[in-house]
Chain A
Amino acid sequence: MPETSVLGLALGGRAAVDVATPGSAAGRALARLGRTGRLGFVALGTERLAGPGTGPRTDPVGAAVAAHALVPGAGWLAAATPVRDHPYNVARRALALDHLTGGRGGLAVAARDAGRPGDVDPWTGRRADPALLSDVVEVLRELWNSWPLDSLVADRATGVFARTERIRRIDHDGPYRVAGPLNTPSSRQGEPVLAWWVADPGAELDAAARAADLVVLPAGASVDAGRLRELRAAHPGTRFLALHDLAAGDADPLAALDAPRAQALDGVVLQVSEHAEDALGRLADALSAALDAGPAPRSATTLRDRLGLPVRGIDLSSRPPAVPGDPLAGQPAVSGRWPGGPSAHRTRQQEGAVRA
């Protein structure tokens, strides 16, 4: 079992809106909590990942982009579901968040969203369920691997900005058919971190453990010790966390941190949906005062490293290249009648005789 005990924060509804609002008291409380050095990650927009899904809703990626400076060392996960949201679009937003936070971004996903109308995906015609989410995650990960970051060279001598040989189509053919590549180079941390919010442990645990870096169990759920050992053996890179509601009135916010250890889980995700200023403020006070609040996350440059998650990737080398041949290829051949090229010519427009 990993040494690091993860502390995550799940902010949904009003709490997410308030924390991301510039200059807010809730934001300041989060920053104070962050300065205790204990916070591994913040997930925004989590109201849509479980329960009735009621809001008010912010834009999770936008909010994370806006708020991440409040806790510079932590990770930032944006909530997303496949309900009415195509994985190509989700993949782009997540990887943008990841780059804008310097390699500390990711997604918190769930199979359904009770706050959006209908549960039939408009692109595949399929019902939104854990099986569809598994396909979504595979698409996301393949897209996140389709354009290697180290292909960017910006070589002025040759005029080559990127060495395109390793950029690959993904040609995913599942319920979703996605050609790729993504138009965003890959993450500094290999891939954004992916957390799967489990609604029904009986039905989803295998899929979640296989697909995700972090499996987040619903509040109050417990997993049989033998089952957990099985899952860990099959997916050694996966961490298992438990949600716990953090109410503003909690007399001892730190009590929540003990529960996962008793269950041999890897940490806790404290869930706040309103009165964020109070709830986060009390937690910050309690953590600052506690002498033994558990091991702190490593000081690290990426979220994956901070949480002790392995770097992972998908080998796409057998898929078709996106740009065949020479990095500057893909342009029409130029005939021999262009000595000096078009840029060598100046017309009367440049002499100032422009006719409107």
Chain B
Amino acid sequence: MTGAEPIGTRGLILNVNLQGFGQRPAAWQVQDVAPDGLLTEAFWHHLGRTAERGLLDAVFFADHPAFGNPNPRPLGLFEPFAVAAAIAAATTHLGVVATASTTYNDPFELAERLAGLDALTGGRLGWNVVTTYSPAVSGNFGVDRNPDRPTRYRRAGEFVDLVRALWAGARTGRPTVHHGEFFDLEGRLDVPPSPQGEPILFQAGGSPAGRELAARIADGVFAVELTEHGAREHYELVKDRAVALGRHREDVAIVPGLSLVIGSTQREADALYDDLERRVPDSYALGALSGVLGVDASTLDPDRPIPQEVLDRTADPASYPTSLGYRETFHDWIRDHNDSVRGVLRNFGGYGARMLIGTPERIADDIEGWYRRGAADGFNIMLGRFPADLEIFVDEVVPLLQDRGVFRREYAETTLRARLGAPLPDPAVVA
């Protein structure tokens, strides 16, 4: 039976997704924060140094190139590579991975900027490749609606291939000549060399097209997995597909999201979570659930399970407006738990990742268990409150994982590529 990679080669990957004051919407209400705290360098420097103290692989930044209502939760107030540069300036080993959409960027400009930033950070940069499905974004770029899913993924594939060709050309000195469906250019980057050759690529997008792109080009995958059996299935799917495309299983790391609320006892963790949730209007979680179901969740009976006919509505992959990957795993999770709608609202986390509310021991058990049973190569951790829960995670959870022999006790390398064990793409093949 295939399972997790042998422990001791790479080890467990732990990234932390830096989500402003915290993953929970009310996180700013339970900490002593200044209204403009998220806009200060000091806030981000502290998070970076704490993550590095905890020997985490990298910090991660999502992106949303559009306004989002800062009530109840302010999020994504900075362009992510700018704040990634701030984190890198305050650290020496920590990786920095940031998201940029292939739908609303230009491949030459992005390749040039990311190569420059990679060299500046000493080879610690990663790019999380996404396409944009949020309807809030297109109007900022003069477009009435986002391209449909098949178009977005064709553009993404061509975009990434072109960026990689440009990065390879910077190393070999050969100009890139590209005439494709979406892009036409002939040129060459002039950028300083990076100790890791070129940025690491992550991919986030759990649709079939997203998984195909991941298997082909990604060094790491930010998956959304709400159930372990689903996670193992997708783990094998992507790894097998990568091998079929000429890569090795260990070349693509599967890193699902995991949202944590940590307490020194289970009761304390539950109380902290309940306190966070009661400060936020119910409409927020209802809105998130409505989004994934495609119906107004407030019309459902709160004390009964989600009606089967709502779950059975098929999603047209070309036009489903949010994440197909999330929808798939959410349906798996609903089938496993058979909760009332009220229970679903409390426990599904609402915001795109599995929720775990518990003690450091319970959290370490969960992380180690998924890792050893072949459901993940690591996790993209989301924390209820920043900086408080990052400090707790570093001080309480990391030592448990170290003691169990699955997580490093020191950084053995300085580049993100060396840390992940990701091979450099062969310039002869790419260009």
Contacts and interface: CB of A to CB of B under 8 A. Distances in A.
Interface of A: 17, 20-22, 54-59, 61-63, 65-66, 69, 83-86, 88-89, 92-93, 96-97, 99-102, 115-118, 122-124, 146-147, 149, 152-154, 156, 159-162, 164, 167, 176-185, 322-323, 327-328, 330-335, 337-338, 341-347, 349-350, 352, 355-356
B116 A57 contact: yes
Given A152-B70, A176-B142, 15 more contacts: A22-B89, A62-B88, A84-B109, A93-B82, A161-B28, A161-B70, A181-B67, A185-B39, A328-B281, A331-B284, A332-B297, A338-B342, A341-B282, A342-B285, A349-B343
Contacts of B284: 331
Contacts of B228: 356
A84 B108 contact: yes
A93 B266 CA distance: 42
Contacts of B26: 159
Nearest to B186: A117
A229 to B, nearest CB: 39
Most buried by A among B69, B72, B83, B285: B69
A58 B190 CA distance: 9
B35 A159 contact: no
Interface residues of B, number: 94
Nearest to A66: B89
A185 B120 contact: no
The 6 lowest CB-CB distance pairs between A and B, nearest first, are: A179-B139, A342-B345, A331-B283, A55-B190, A117-B187, A343-B277
A210 B80 CA distance: 31
A341 to B, nearest CB: 4
B14 to A, nearest CB: 21
Nearest to A187: B39
Contact of A116 (B81, B108, B337): B108
Contact of B82 (A96, A146, A335, A345): A96
A322 B166 CA distance: 39
B36 A62 contact: no
Contacts of A56: 190-192
Given A84-B108, A89-B105, A332 B141 contact: no
Contacts of B270: 346, 350
B390 interface: no
B264 interface: no
5 contacts: A154-B34, A184-B77, A323-B69, A347-B337, A350-B270
Contacts of B29: 156, 159
B36 A152 contact: yes
Nearest to A61: B82
A162 B82 contact: no
A51 B74 CA distance: 42
B240 interface: no
B77 A332 contact: no
Contacts of B28: 154, 161
Contacts of B151: none
B148 interface: no
Nearest to A155: B35
Nearest to A330: B69
Nearest to A78: B82
Interface string B314-346: 000000000000000000000011011111011
A85 B109 contact: yes
B364 interface: no
Contacts of B64: 183
A58 B34 contact: no
Nearest to A55: B190
Contacts of B44: 100
A123 B190 contact: no
Nearest to A331: B283
Interface in B265-283: 266, 270, 274, 277-283
Contact of B86 (A65, A116, A345): A65
Given A331-B281, A334-B286, A102 B117 contact: no
Interface in B202-253: 227-229
B73 interface: yes
Interface in B75-94: 76-79, 81-86, 88-89
A115 B190 contact: yes
B77 A185 contact: yes
B185 interface: yes
B287 A331 contact: yes
Nearest to B193: A56
Interface in B8-51: 26, 28-29, 33-36, 39-41, 44
A161 B190 CA distance: 44
Interface string B90-123: 0000000000000011101100111011011010
A127 to B, nearest CB: 15
B72 A63 contact: no
A115 B187 CA distance: 9
B285 to A, nearest CB: 6
Contact of A161 (B73, B83, B287, B301): B73
Contacts of B340: 345, 347
B290 interface: yes
Q: Could you say which of B116, B284, B342 has the most chain A C-beta atoms within 10 Å of its C-beta?
A: B116
A178 B140 contact: yes
A54 B188 CA distance: 11
Contact of B190 (A21, A54, A66, A184): A54
Nearest to A115: B190
B160 to A, nearest CB: 17
A356 B69 CA distance: 35
Which of B67, B84, B105 has the most CB atoms of chain A within a 10 A radius of its CB? B67
Given A59-B117, A122-B106, A179 B187 contact: no
A156 B275 CA distance: 13
A349 B116 contact: no
B106 A334 contact: no
Most chain A C-beta atoms within 10 Å of own C-beta, residue among B34, B79, B119: B79
Given A85-B109, A331-B283, A179 B140 contact: yes
B307 interface: no
B343 A345 contact: yes
B35 A152 contact: yes
B142 A337 contact: no
Contacts of B187: 116-117
Given A17-B119, A66-B89, A122-B106, A322 B36 contact: no
Contacts of A123: 141-142
A252 to B, nearest CB: 32
Given A57-B191, A66-B85, A161 B120 contact: no
Contacts of B337: 347, 349, 355
A147 to B, nearest CB: 7
